[in-house]
Amino acid sequence: MDKTDKEIRRYFKNIFGFRVRNVEPFRIALIHKSVSSNDAIGGRLNNERLEYLGDAILGSIIADFLYHKYPLESEGVLTRMRSKLVNRNRLNNLARKLGLPEMMRMDSHITSNTPNGNALEAVVGAIYIDQGFKRTYDIIIHNIFLTFLDMNEVYAEDDDYKSRILIWAQHNRHKVTFDIQNEDKGRDHLYRAILSIDGKECAQALGQSVKKAEQAAAEKALAAMETKE
């Protein structure tokens, strides 16, 4: 059932902590692609464009937040931390905690309890359009990430992607293999790790050591699996 403008305004005031000015982008942010319709100029009316915008805004907000929160950390650490915060599983879980799936307009065959990180990104896009960057930054960081996540726990999470995918494979009765190839790039000697699941190539990556190449390939494979969820 479609939510009324009053219900949408109440939801964002109670859950996200701000008053909606223009409800239109929020109506669109809550339309799943399964119930798309054509707008007045022939475009598809759903939240995918807002998802695209919100993904970019969310990445910028998280990057700025981490840059200032961890002034002594390297670019690599900050990049991994950002990946942890915006990966599909975490965004799905945040969407569920925010009660966002229940607000969505979607096909009846899709359960309203399904976590939807894509919808959360679309909502970020709508907040940005309605509130501007600075206010969106405050809402996302203080009312969502710092409210629902323990940053110290996220920081300490295991980055051993190879172990994670091997454990997943064992639990789900799949076979994961790594094929290592040597590559000469001028003065740099690199290794290419090609990760296959049940004999089908899923990801490959370069690294300055076999371990780094395998970890990078496993990270790519896990990211691809999360995107498909």
- 117's tokens: 């990180």
Strand ranges inside the chain, DSSP E: 37-38, 44-45, 176-185, 188-197, 200-207
Is 121 assigned a catalytic role? yes
Is 24 assigned a catalytic role? no
CA distances in angstroms from 15 to 36, 62, 74, 216, listed in the order given: 26, 20, 34, 37
Choose the catalytic residue: 5, 24, 39, 55: 55
The phi and psi torsions of 172 (rounded to 5 degrees) equal -105, 10
CA distances in angstroms from 33 to 36, 48, 76, 185, 205, listed in the order given: 5, 7, 35, 44, 33
Choose the catalytic residue: 24, 39, 75, 121: 121
Q: Which residues are catalytic?
A: 55, 121
